Amino acid sequence: MALKILCITDLDGTFVKDSIRVSKNDLTAYHSLKRFCDFAIATGRSIKEIEYITKKKKIDIQYYIAFNGALIANTHQNVIFSNPIQKKDVEQLLEFLKKENLVFDALDGIQRIGNFAHEHIERLWDMRIVCPDNPYDSLRYKDIYKFNIRPTKEQTTDYLNILREEFPSLAFFQSGETRIEVTSEGVSKGSAIRRVSADYDLLVSFGDSGNDVSLFENSDISYCMSSAPAEVKKYAKFEAENFSSAVTHLCKFIESSSLLK
């Protein structure tokens, strides 16, 4: 009996190049996967942004895993898990960001709110970015699923360590040289796939960033893009130049091991 397989991919840097486009080769690779597995997307972005890509490219997915796992919906976009950051943690984090004069944006699933003026609006995928005069007061009473904190390259490691010490009830991931992602404690892509994997025999993941490490750790087969930092690559089973080459390798591996028979 053939195994039931779920393939889960990150978006930016993995399935979506330059946070703008899905290449023709990678789209072809997706269609190859759909011959023998279900497909899911796990990203730091919102469900609204996932839908932007899936509708544009006619991609059929089984699960929408948004905000690094803080919000999960099924193929019909019915929410099956939701864990926004607690209000007290939002308030304390806002006080820290204000004191440190850090650039940030916060995501409530509808828009991005903060003091970050995005220099590449084409990467926002129809997600409105709002910069109110006082973003701190504007955010205190909203349901916030994720913060993006944007220190300078030289500050990122230090701030990551400080934040983890100051806020033990939150989860922090470095997802770029100048970005730290913040969600509720226990939220990760890895915890998300554990919530949706009960019906599957084999989990395969694709990623390229610090927020994909838990995804790799909770998968049977994992692929990290060669552009990823070395400390991220070491957690994946295989390294691939891009999504399509990873899928080519996966198809050969599965066929040679007779997992589909």
Q: What is the pLDDT of residue 260?
A: 53
Angle (CA) 34-39-43 rounded to 5° is 145
pLDDT digits 0-9 by tens, 9-28: 999 999 998 888 899 999 99
**Is residue 31 very low, low, confident or very high in pLDDT (cuts 50, 70, 90)?**
very high
Residue 259 has pLDDT above 70, yes or no: no
**What are the φ and ψ backbone dihedral angles of 115, each rounded to 5 degrees?**
-115, 20
Other CB atoms within a 10 A radius of the CB of residue 165 amount to 8
Q: Which long-range contacts (CB under 8 A, 24 or more apart) does 61-64 make?
A: 62/6, 62/38, 62/196, 63/8, 63/196, 64/40
Share of the chain above pLDDT 90, in %: 82
The mean-pLDDT minimum among 1-5, 116-120, 164-168, 172-176 falls in 116-120
Q: What is the pLDDT of residue 54?
A: 95
pLDDT digits 0-9 by tens, 170-184: 999 998 889 999 999
The pTM score is 0.92
DSSP states of 158-200? HHHHHHHHH-TTEEEEE-STT-EEEEETT--HHHHHHHH-TT-
Show Cβ contacts of residue 10 under 8 Å, excluding neighbours closer than 6 positions: 41, 42, 43, 189, 206, 207, 208, 209, 211, 212, 215
Could you tell me the two tokens for 50? Answer: 């996932």
Q: What is the pLDDT of residue 198?
A: 93
Bridge partner list, 105: 114, 148
Residue 60 has pLDDT above 90, yes or no: yes
Q: What is the pLDDT of residue 119?
A: 64
Could you tell me the two tokens for 165? Answer: 């010490």
Q: What is the pLDDT of residue 26?
A: 97
Q: What is the pLDDT of residue 214?
A: 96
- For the chain, the average pLDDT equals 93
pLDDT digits 0-9 by tens, 86-138: 999 999 999 999 999 999 999 998 999 999 876 667 677 878 888 899 999 98
Other CB atoms within a 10 A radius of the CB of residue 230 amount to 6
Q: How far apart, in whole angstroms, are the C-alpha atoms of residue 43 and residue 141?
A: 25
**Is residue 258 very low, low, confident or very high in pLDDT (cuts 50, 70, 90)?**
low
Pick left, alpha or beta for residue 249 (phi over 0 → left; psi -120 to 50 → alpha; otherwise beta). Answer: alpha
Q: What is the pLDDT of residue 127?
A: 80
Radius of gyration of the chain (CA): 18
Q: How far apart, in whole angstroms, are the C-alpha atoms of residue 157 and residue 180?
A: 9
Residue 221 has pLDDT above 90, yes or no: yes
